[in-house]
Amino acid sequence: MECPHLSSSVCIAPDSAKFPNGSPSSWCCSVCRSNKSPWVCLTCSSVHCGRYVNGHAKKHYEEAQVPLANHRKPEKQDKAQHTVCMDCSSYSTYCYRCDDFVVNDTKLGLVQKVREHLQNLENSAFTADRHRKRKLLENSSINSKLLKVNGSTTAICATGLRNLGNTCFMNAILQSLSNIEQFCCYFKELPAVELRNGKTAGRRTYHTRSQGDSNVSLVEEFRKTLCALWQGSQTAFSPESLFYVVWKIMPNFRGYQQQDAHEFMRYLLDHLHLELQGGFNGVSRSAILQENSTLSASNKCCINGASTVVTAIFGGILQNEVNCLICGTESRKFDPFLDLSLDIPSQFRNKRSKNQENGPVCSLRDCLRSFTDLEELDETELYMCHKCKKKQKSTKKFWIQKLPKVLCLHLKRFHWTAYLRNKVDTYVEFPLRGLDMKCYLLEPENSGPEHCLYDLAAVVVHHGSGVGSGHYTAYATHEGRWFHFNDSTVALTDEDTVVKAKAYILFYVERQAKAGSDKL
């Protein structure tokens, strides 16, 4: 929005010596000393924490308005006011009086000058920090031990995501997708999109919260987020811009209540798919996909229109067979899918951990078998038989006609009872390598063994008892090492820890090498 308060609020010089030392993204609040979500006042250059931490930036504005409210002369209101501040991480500008993000600037361009100054400070601090770490690793004779023991040293290549207020569901999915190499690389190689409209034409638009839906790009904000996650900075990245675009185009996720990570993933992939089909700002994203030689036409799966990188990587095809038990008529239907939702068999639902001795451990094979086994439909799901001309008892069976490059498996841990939604907290054993999907294929003889084996790339875990509460984290492998992503915190972990996790969503990547002996 065009803010009318900039001239009376933006008073600091871009080279002000009042700024704290260090990188702006890690500056501490002058009140509570928190370095999460720092904002700098553009009137006095003081730094305070954002509203998702302790809200001292807003309190700073409110306290500055108290004496102004006591003045009756209108000319007193023209004096400097502490109404406008800048995010020290994303460099977006916010006006508390307008209660919205700002896209315009002062006549002298002071906002842009401050923004560039903060960017220079951040880059200088990052360069110095990277040089220091490189020297430390080069001069150390125990590099391998540092990578295994010192959490801060091992995570230098990975970046955490700040929690904006119960946004761990989004952070866990973003970190998982960022470790799907082929998917992530596609977006990072896309050309940047600059949103231009009206008076802001020719200038980069930093925020899209107050603009129309036609001027936001989920693909662009998703691209920028993925680029930030593996840039080598240890400072947590704030996915604020992406979250505001999500608010605009996915109304279900507005607000700051806890959401279902699986539901968010499906909405995210669906909207990315739709936007990629149509292109944005005159750039055809589908055209870029056509030129990508690694995604051949034979491997594409179309869901709701033309193929995109979403369907080319996550898209598979199910064959649904329904047989009438009265006349034997068989009906076949082919359904495209981006993920498979698997029930945890009822006989395992009371087994909370791997070490309990009340029967066998539930495995991913048990869940897949339950999904694909022949089952008789109950009275509420009677099949309309075209031969009998009425609804009849029938059986149903799923086959996988085409496996995707990335197999996403969702374990259905939440189910509705008469009054509430409960969580199935059963431990499900899953393999890190060699998940063999051949026995679930419709025509396994037509698929080479290398196309049926999958290795784990990422796991999303829900901690807690209910879908509307708890916390989401993710485990993912990058360049042969496993990381645990817990919002802003990224730590190196090991395979033993990963396999003990109570998985909610599993991302398996098709193995490119020849099949080995390590199978599920």
**What residues are labeled active site?**
168, 471
Look at residue 419 and give its three-state secondary structure: coil
Look at residue 356 and give its three-state secondary structure: coil
311 contacts 336 by C-beta, under 8 angstroms: yes
The two tokens of residue 39 are 């904002």
What is the enclosing helix (H) or strand (E) of 397?
A: strand 394-402
* 511-to-410, 439, 449 alpha-carbon distances in Å: 20, 16, 10
Write the CB contacts of 447 (distance below 8 Å, at least 6 apart in sequence): 403, 438, 441
Question: Exposure of 73 by Cβ count < 10 A (0-12 exposed, 13-18 middle, 19+ buried)?
Answer: exposed
- If we measure between CA atoms, which residue out of 484, 455, 480, 424 comes closest to residue 168? 484
DSSP 421-457: EEE----EE--SS-EE-GGGBSSGGGS-GGGTEEEEE
> 379-415 burial string, b = 16+ CB within 10 Å, else e?
eeeebebeeeeeebebebebbbbbbbbbbbbbbebbe
- If we measure between CA atoms, which residue out of 443, 459, 439 comes closest to residue 519? 439
Say how many residues make up the chain.
Answer: 520
394 contacts 382 by C-beta, under 8 angstroms: yes
* 239-to-159, 176, 236, 256 alpha-carbon distances in Å: 12, 15, 10, 14
Percentage helix, strand, coil, to 5, in the chain? 35, 20, 45
* 301-to-270, 276, 297 alpha-carbon distances in Å: 13, 14, 9
- If we measure between CA atoms, which residue out of 113, 101, 106, 104 comes closest to residue 80? 106
What is the enclosing helix (H) or strand (E) of 297?
A: none
Q: What angle, rounded to 10 degrees, do the helices at 181-188 and 168-178 form?
A: 90
The two tokens of residue 275 are 């936007």
- If we measure between CA atoms, which residue out of 92, 79, 259 comes closest to residue 166? 259
CA 186 to chain centroid: 16
405 contacts 299 by C-beta, under 8 angstroms: yes
